[in-house]
Amino acid sequence: MNILILGSGGREHALAWAVMQNPKCDRLIVAPGNAGIAEIAECASFDINDRGQVVTFAEENAIDFVIIGPEAPLTSGVADRLRESAILTFGPSAAAAMLEGSKAFTKEICDAANAPTAAYGHFTQAGPAKEYIRQQGAPIVVKADGLAAGKGVIVAMDEETALAAIDDMFGGAFGDAGAQVVIEEFMEGEEASFFVLCDGQNILPIGTAQDHKRAFDGDTGPNTGGMGAYSPAPVMSDAVVKIALEQIIQPTVDEMARRGTPYQGVLYAGFMIKDAQPRLVEYNVRFGDPECQVLMMRLGAQVLDLMLACARGQLDQATVNWGDDHAITIVMAANGYPGAYEKGSVINGLDGIPEDSWSKVFHAGTALIDGKTCATGGRVMNITARGETLSQARERAYKMVEAIDWPGGFNRTDIGWRAL
């Protein structure tokens, strides 16, 4: 079949790498793609958030299956338009993508589904929001309602910070995303991510992971999109997974179906876990980046069959063929990230790295310029490895990092510390 993947990050490189290994994939196009993706698939250029452009491209290229990577095309309704044109698509409708698009919506669903999550208030005006903060006291968490590129959450350890966040949000610091705010109880515990495929009705877990959000070692420095991840996450024991499915995921999926907006695609749940009880922090309606890289490393080619079963509403007939393995990915980012960073620095040493089912470099922000691999983004490469144990995978990954000669970039040296 002819397959189109939308997106350009390390997540989409990993998806492309897994999908193209499946014999069902005859032709793979990624839009817009990146330099790493261009080595294994065709890259195409059009506006992936424009529903019309996506459908036209898919029809002109006889695409049989579209996999949508990032959240923006999902909240724009690209999946809806593709399905209207009878093109098989992996990814939720715009209505179901509200689970990521609006934090207030997610809280409302949790209420209806009776799913454990932080207590909250939802506000459209600064005055009552501030009153709520003064009543509740700190620590407290202030969230812009809409998509804010991961920057719309302020975990305030004191009241002043929380009140200032309200002024920022209603002052327009996050644009429309901040026109409404959700204020949440601060939850203590250990964070982990849980990924399930969902065909509107049936649920299939496809892995757990832990991310490292801070830029520097020891979980210090500014928040980022994620500096490294590993799978599985030890804190997501079988018992915790069972509770998560029964108390949070299944009730959410049932509630979405009951409302006439069934959820189809990958559902990424962020949990806070304390005393083996998970509580929902947030939903995302896509794979995590870099969590996807470790999931794909573990799942490999079967992921295409699973995504097809998901899109066709046949997940009840699908099973995951698990290896008893662990995967880790180390993000290499341009110096300065997540602030202003330099673009165009040359990356050497990639040719000498062995790439097989145990080790793989996924590209995020790279471009081929005059035959040289250059950094063009903030997060630039994901050095990914698999092993029989996490320490084996980790050792393998850091050996690859050492072989890369890139003075323009940096990486954390402690990915996986919590699990080891």
- Contact residues: ligand AMP, CB under 6 A: 118, 141, 153, 155, 184-187, 191, 270, 281-282
Q: How far is the CB of 185 from ligand AMP (least distance, A)?
A: 6
288 binds, among ligand GLY, ligand AMP, none (CB under 5 to 8 A by kind): ligand GLY
**Closest to ligand GLY by CB, 141 or 308:** 141
187 binds, among ligand AMP, ligand GLY, none (CB under 5 to 8 A by kind): ligand AMP
281 binds, among ligand AMP, ligand GLY, none (CB under 5 to 8 A by kind): ligand AMP
DSSP assignments along 290-350, one per residue? THHHHHHHHHTTHHHHHHHHHHTT-GGG------S-EEEEEEEEETTTTSS-----B-B-G
Task: Give the Cα separation of 201 and 188 in Å (integer).
Answer: 32
CA angle 351, 356, 362 (to 5 degrees): 65
**Closest to ligand GLY by CB, 199 or 289:** 289
Q: Where are the alpha helices (DSSP H) in 157-219?
A: 159-170
Q: How far is the CB of 291 from ligand GLY (least distance, A)?
A: 6
- When binding is defined by CB under 6 A, the residue of 226, 265, 278, 409 that contacts ligand GLY is 226
Does residue 12 belong to the site contacting ligand GLY (CB under 6 A)?
no
Q: How far is the CB of 68 from ligand AMP (least distance, A)?
A: 20
Task: Give the Cα separation of 96 and 101 in Å (integer).
Answer: 9
Q: How far is the CB of 404 from ligand AMP (least distance, A)?
A: 28
DSSP assignments along 176-193, one per residue? GGGSSEEEEEPPPSEEEE
Does residue 71 belong to the site contacting ligand GLY (CB under 6 A)?
no
**Closest to ligand GLY by CB, 289 or 325:** 289
Evaluate the omega torsion of the peptide bond into residue 139 and state whether it is cis, within 30 degrees of 0.
yes
User: What are the counts of helices (DSSP H) followed by strands (DSSP E) for the chain?
Assistant: 14, 22
Q: How far is the CB of 146 from ligand GLY (least distance, A)?
A: 15
Stated as kind and residue range, the H or E segment containing 372 is: strand 372-375
Phi then psi for residue 285, to 5 deg, are -105, 25
Q: Long-range contacts: 49-52, Cβ < 8 Å, 24+?
A: 49/73, 49/76, 49/78, 50/76, 51/76, 51/77, 51/78, 51/80, 51/81, 52/81
Q: Hey, what amino acid is at 58?
A: A
Show the binding pattern over residues 157-176: x = contacts ligand GLY (CB under 6 A), - = does not.
--------------------
Task: Give the Cα separation of 74 and 93 in Å (integer).
Answer: 7
153 binds, among ligand GLY, ligand AMP, none (CB under 5 to 8 A by kind): ligand AMP
For residue 129, what are its two tokens?
């929001």
Task: Give the Cα separation of 92 and 274 in Å (integer).
Answer: 30
For residue 63, what are its two tokens?
């695409």
Please report the sign of the dihedral spanned by the C-alpha atoms of residue 134, residue 136, residue 140, residue 142.
negative
**Closest to ligand GLY by CB, 228 or 409:** 228
**Closest to ligand AMP by CB, 187 or 400:** 187
**Closest to ligand AMP by CB, 99 or 308:** 99
**Closest to ligand AMP by CB, 272 or 315:** 272
Show the binding pattern over residues 286-325: x = contacts ligand GLY (CB under 6 A), - = does not.
--xx-x----------------------------------
- When binding is defined by CB under 6 A, the residue of 33, 36, 225, 228 that contacts ligand GLY is 225
Task: Give the Cα separation of 339 and 372 in Å (integer).
Answer: 25
Does residue 284 belong to the site contacting ligand GLY (CB under 6 A)?
yes
CB 203 within 8 Å of CB 250 = yes
Q: How far is the CB of 290 from ligand GLY (least distance, A)?
A: 6
Q: How far is the CB of 410 from ligand GLY (least distance, A)?
A: 18
**Closest to ligand GLY by CB, 121 or 225:** 225
289 binds, among ligand AMP, ligand GLY, none (CB under 5 to 8 A by kind): ligand GLY
Enumerate binding residues for ligand GLY (CB under 6 A): 211, 225-226, 284, 288-289, 291
